[in-house]
């Protein structure tokens, strides 16, 4: 991908190339942190590539069909912007997926634990992101200040907690229904089993989302609310 960006010299503005490189670096950094935090250490590179590459590629190639709501709007917006300034469509599609493809690591790991196909897990994962407005919550976390080391660490910790909760909820919802059940049907079955606690959680999350300002305090409450859903053991 970096070679493809280099090949755009004198074809697109240098600022566009720089933006793509920066987005790419952020994805690499996030992926590295995930692997260091979630895989046995010391990390076996060849084994890790074998475990994840095919599943991540499947999810990445299917993002346009998997994403919902705000995630899909973001993806399409970046795609339109990049193609509009001369970036080839195939490269633009890959770059547009940078923000949304990072969870593919969690998705592939869940697929391995549950003996399901990565795309089956991905359908539930991205469906949940839209239904529970997890993407909007993540946006609020990203907006937290990081003026010093401690603020940056707190922001990273709460973001990683949200990804972990999202992965846990995905696995719970996957357990609802049978192998031919759609993401919508799985969610409905899971929702019916946990109606009371889900109702309370939604009320709290909606109240936080409607706040005029966001800080570590109310976002920490949001994360605690997300974790209560994991304690349902649906």
Q: What is the tens place of the pLDDT at every residue in 30-69?
A: 999 999 999 999 999 999 999 999 999 999 999 999 999 9
135/59 Cα distance (integer angstroms)? 18
Matching residue, tokens 């049978």: 178
CA angle at 94 for the pair 42 and 166, rounded to the nearest 5°: 55
Q: Are 91 and 43 in contact (CB under 8 A)?
A: no
pLDDT at 121 over 70: yes
Q: Cα angle at 141 between 79 and 110, to 5 degrees?
A: 70
First to last CA, the chain: 41
- The token duo for 27 is 């994805």
Structure tokens at 150: 């401690």
Cα–Cα distances in angstroms (integers) from residue 134 to residues 137, 148, 176, in the given order: 5, 26, 20
This prediction's pTM: 0.89
The residue segments making up the domain with residue 40 are 2-230
Taking alpha carbons only, the member of 196, 205, 210, 198 closest to residue 223 is 205
Task: Report how many domains make up the chain.
Answer: 1
For 4-28, give the secondary structure using H, E and C: HHHCCCCCCCHHHHHHHHHHHHHHH
Q: Nearest CA to 96 among 75, 127, 69?
A: 75
Q: Is pLDDT above 70 for 232?
A: no
Q: Confidence band (pLDDT; 50, 70, 90) for 234?
A: very low
């Amino acid at each position: 991908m970096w070679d493809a960006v280099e090949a755009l010299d004198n074809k697109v503005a240098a600022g566009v190339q720089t933006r793509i490189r920066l987005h790419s670096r952020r994805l690499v950094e996030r992926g590295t942190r995930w692997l260091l935090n979630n895989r046995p250490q010391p990390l076996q590179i060849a084994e890790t590539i074998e475990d994840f590459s095919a599943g991540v590629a499947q999810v990445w190639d299917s993002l346009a069909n998997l994403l919902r709501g705000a995630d899909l709007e973001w993806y399409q917006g970046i795609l339109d912007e990049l193609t509009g300034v001369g970036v080839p469509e195939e490269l633009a599609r890959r770059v547009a997926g940078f923000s949304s493809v990072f969870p593919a690591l969690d998705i592939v790991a869940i697929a391995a634990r549950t003996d399901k196909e990565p795309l089956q897990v991905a359908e539930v994962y991205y469906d949940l992101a839209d239904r529970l407005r997890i993407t909007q919550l993540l946006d609020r976390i990203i907006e937290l200040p990081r003026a010093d080391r401690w603020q940056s660490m707190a922001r990273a910790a709460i973001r990683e907690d949200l990804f972990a909760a999202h992965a846990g909820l995905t696995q719970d919802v996957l357990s609802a229904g049978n192998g031919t059940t759609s993401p919508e049907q799985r969610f409905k079955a899971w929702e019916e089993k946990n109606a009371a606690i889900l109702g309370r959680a939604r009320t709290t999350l909606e109240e936080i989302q409607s706040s005029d300002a966001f800080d570590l305090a109310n976002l920490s409450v949001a994360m605690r609310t997300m974790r209560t859903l994991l304690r349902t053991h649906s």
